[in-house]
Chains A and B, each alone.
Chain A
Amino acid sequence: MAAPVHDTGLSVANDAEGNSKRHLPGDANVWLFVIGDMVIFSCYFTAYLFDRGHSHELFLQSQQHLSQNVGVINTLILLTSSLFVALSIQAARAGDLGSASRFLTLGFACGVGFVLIKSYEWFLELSSGWTISSNAFFMHYYMMTSLHFFHVLLGLVILTMLRRELRRMASPRLQFLQIGATYWHMVDFLWIIIFALAYLMR
């Protein structure tokens, strides 16, 4: 099961002539899913931008009520969780299942941190009277972040399943681990885009 580790941890293997072979991380099905999900989210982003174009002032004013500080903390947390998940895959590939499992736990913990902070942020915003039907900006904001939040929750379930695979199986399936990791990284970069669109851009 343990494959020789390339020092960057990437999955480039060399064939008999020493040419680097390209290898698909995970499997084609999960990439179909990821690309499809990216396209679906792009529709939501486009709708947001379209409405933003129509009510630029309204959106600018409403954006002020979001906390950029909380947003950047959440971004950093998700980036860190992605790092841990990536390291976990590398450790698994090297056969170091103990470290792989620990990294996954750390990644999971970061994900939980995101969930808690996001929930608290929503609580603060709702308490200030900014609800989903307040105006067009908040409609988009709550819808996009809710959709993303659901993806994070699903991701946490998947990370749990990955950890279970590492701990219970004598030879964990690397492909299964990569599939789960691919999903989690998608969740990470979707948040990066949401952060830029909703919190930062003006």
Chain B
Amino acid sequence: MPHMLTTGAAGSAPTGENPRAKRANVDELICWWSIPIFYQIFALVFGYLTKIMRPPIPGPTLAQDGIIAFTLGNATHMQVGTVLLGIFLGFASMGTGVIVVQMRRMSISSVLPYGYLACGAAAALPGCYFCALLFSVAAFRPDRDPHLIALLYDAGFAGFIGCLGCFATQYVVFAVAIFLDRNRIFPKWLGYMTIWNFVTELVAAPVWIFKRGPYAWNGLLSFYLGVVIFVVWIVCVIIYLKKAISNQPLGEVEPA
């Protein structure tokens, strides 16, 4: 479509639409990029730098010596990771906003998108940032009392894992919205996948009870199965979010 530079005389725009509205979806697409970028950074920070994903063997059951070694041994990586995460955390919020905008296009009450937003807001900081932050605080002064380092380590994991409730609720809200939606913003099967995500998140709940085995923090079922399903889910969400934005009629007015 040829780029229109007119100031909006109705006769010059082929469909009579306001040329300013035509760019609305480009804004959304720019914001959409925040999601894949954020998750790449997340994978880098948590997978490679702080080494929290692919949880340290034997998981949060390290004897105190092991905790010190893990924390101080990775000090620089952790601090770099925390800095990166601090810079890019806002992308997670923006990503949530992009999803919420599409949810508001659904034929549902605005309770659901706002609920999604609220859950995301509640979960993002403790679920993601605090963990890296606390590990970096622990690594900041190597001569700190080992008990304090262990405390910070435990507190970091507590935040990382403990927020699953908020995320689980967020997934339920998203799934319910997709199922109730008659405007077909997202495909129904994505709603079902979100339920799987929710189920595996629930199964991760007892990680504080088990120190070994498949339901422990580094367990096959609590961690690996959950991560695999999450990765598949987020990839689908990213792809179908882009499609939803592309399919959004230009100039569509959002409901009040």
Contacts and interface: CB of A to CB of B under 8 A. Distances in A.
Contact of B209 (A32, A51, A133, A136): A133
B203 A147 contact: yes
B192 A36 contact: yes
Contacts of B191: 29
A40 B193 contact: no
Contacts of B250: none
Given A33-B189, A36-B192, A43 B206 contact: no
Contacts, number: 51
A51 B213 CA distance: 9
Nearest to B209: A133
Interface in B162-217: 187-189, 191-193, 195-196, 199-200, 202-203, 206, 209-210, 213-215
Contacts of B200: 40
B44 interface: no
Interface residues of B, number: 22
A147 B196 CA distance: 12
Given A44-B221, A150-B202, A36 B196 contact: yes
Interface string A27-51: 1111011001100100110010001
B220 interface: yes
13 contacts: A29-B187, A32-B192, A33-B192, A36-B193, A37-B196, A40-B196, A43-B220, A47-B220, A51-B214, A132-B206, A132-B209, A150-B199, A150-B202
Interface of B: 187-189, 191-193, 195-196, 199-200, 202-203, 206, 209-210, 213-215, 220-221, 225, 229
